[in-house]
Amino acid sequence: MQSRLGWSIKTVVWIMSGLAKQKNAGLFIVGFMLAQLSFSQVFAEQRPFNLGSIATTEQVAGWDIDVRPDGLGAPIGAGNAIDGEAVYTDRCASCHGDFGEAVDNWPALVGGEGTLSSHDPVKTTGSYWPYASTMYDYIYRAMPFGEAQSLTHNETYQIVAYLLNMNDIIDEEYELNHNNIGLIEMPNHAGFLMPDPRPDAQPSSGKPCMKDCDVPTQIIGKARDIDVTPEKES
């Protein structure tokens, strides 16, 4: 490896050793400065802005936890609904209810079939969630509330399997794992329109609208109708 001065690292070390043996303090300092410059230029080539450090494989792995809709990225592990019931009861039921029915205003995880087009839709993992794989991603990444990423991979598969079973999507003995989680067909997998048909979500033409630009809107629900407005304490 060579510095931008054209000297190899071995050459710089040899110069420093020779100057040190001559006990010439001035020359030794000059040699040390040249060596430092050489080393800094070599590392600058690897880090152009000389900021931070190169991430290790272990550090990257800690952030690379996303699981895609097709199951790509799912970590090695497995679980079924039978084992998942105990894990769910211990880690999830205090907020979401023993059977996914929800406690207070925490989200329900089970039920809601056929309600999405109603005035009071119940969006659960069974009625609304489009992919089992992204359910895994969210639970492993963000749950339990206040203890995110404390679940093991197997525990997360067990919880997902339990929820899928409670929503009548898989049998209780079905082993959910990294190979098949992307193959689970969720009831609402086709309920998300692609591309997005909304006028305000279309690609820009580059020309700003100057006339008749208002998009008509319609209020289709109110917060108090779906019980999400906090009640005042008496």
pLDDT tens-digit series, residues 124-180: 999 999 999 999 999 999 999 999 999 999 999 999 999 999 999 999 999 999 999
C-beta separation of 13 from 36 below 8 A: no
Confidence bin at 62 (pLDDT 50/70/90) = confident
> Could you report the per-residue pLDDT of 134-144, keeping only the tens digit for each?
999 999 999 99
- Rounded to the nearest 10 degrees, the angle between the axes of helix 25-46 and helix 9-21 is 160
Whether this model's pTM surpasses 0.75 = no
- 179: its two tokens: 């190979």
C-beta separation of 140 from 151 below 8 A: yes
CATH number of 62-183: 1.10.760.10
Strand partners, 2: 8
Taking phi first (over 0 means left), then psi (-120 to 50 degrees means alpha), and beta for anything else, what does residue 105 get? alpha
C-beta separation of 120 from 113 below 8 A: no
Confidence bin at 5 (pLDDT 50/70/90) = very low
109: three-class secondary structure by DSSP: coil
Domain locations along the chain = 9-46, 62-183
Cα 178 versus chain centre, distance:
16
CB atoms closer than 10 angstroms to residue 65 = 13
C-beta separation of 159 from 91 below 8 A: yes
Cβ contacts of 30-39, under 8 Å, gap ≥ 24: 34/5, 34/7, 37/3, 37/5, 38/3, 38/5, 38/7, 38/9, 38/12, 39/3, 39/9, 39/12
